[in-house]
Structure 1
Amino acid sequence: MIKTKYNAKISIDDKEFNVVVSEPSLAQRKELESRASEQKAKLDELSAINLQREELSLEIANKEKILSINTELLSTLNAQQKAELLKENKSICADILSLKKQASKLSAQLKSGDEINAQFEKLMEYKALMLVSGDDKDELFALIKERGIAFSTLWSELNEAVLKDSQKK
């Protein structure tokens, strides 16, 4: 027999809640996928920005290492060579400053990751409102919001409870 509704028992501290979790209908699944795809695009963009920032960090570290080596070499060179090396160091310092500014801008863009986390939580709440029912639903959701529990955490627990219920014979 194929089940489309599963009984789930969720415990928060010492309080137990009995709810029913439904499989999403085709329309509900499409709605959830549509909302999730928007977030996936933003997440992919943030991943690319993070990769750029990491590459800049490696380039900065490399230039700082070259600067350090050049500084050590200064004591072994004549005046003409020192002048050339100091010009090179000056150029490297300018490059490092420019790279650090670029990395800083990328870091600021990554702060929008908090926004994505908030949107993901809204998606999980929307999914819960759509697929969870039962007499204890309202009380469970009220307690979750009161305690500041993430809906993604609720879904972790619900998925385990659904798995247990689906394996019953």
Structure 2
Amino acid sequence: MRRRLGPAALAIAGALALAGCGGSDSGDSGDGGSGKAELSAGSAYMPQPVSGDMAAGFLTVTNKGGAADELTSVTSDIAGQVTVHETVDGAMQEVKSLKIPAGGRLELKSGGDHLMFEQLKSKPKEGQTVSVELHFAHSGPMKVEMPVKPATYTPKTGH
């Protein structure tokens, strides 16, 4: 014998069925439901500059959050300006921002995307540390200490 469900029972059954159907826009993005970028920086360094007016900087920004972000600018007391560059087919060009994917990373490395410190106020020397502040499209600013390495330094890991 088959029983017919009343309207209230059908509504509850429908609600329970829909509750298990979360799409990617349900707020569950693998980051505890925050839907925000969770940024950290590591592997930062600056090769000792060979010229007195420019230097390069490298680091990795990791995003453990469920939303993408973008590195939009960098500031440092040692330079008149710090610009963000991408390298495409061996040619570098200044860009307004670099993307940091959700659950991914932005790697700034020698021969690739990088920071350019221009109009140096003093020439950083090996063993010193340069302070930089990273600015993002959606996250708050982040201070990073960047050790000055030999001009020929090549990192073993992290890049």
Q: TM-score range by the shorter chain?
A: under 0.3
TM-score, scaled relative to structure 2: 0.27
The structure carrying a bigger strand percent of its residues is 2
Larger Rg computed on CA atoms: 1
Higher relative contact order (CA 8 A, sep 6+): 1
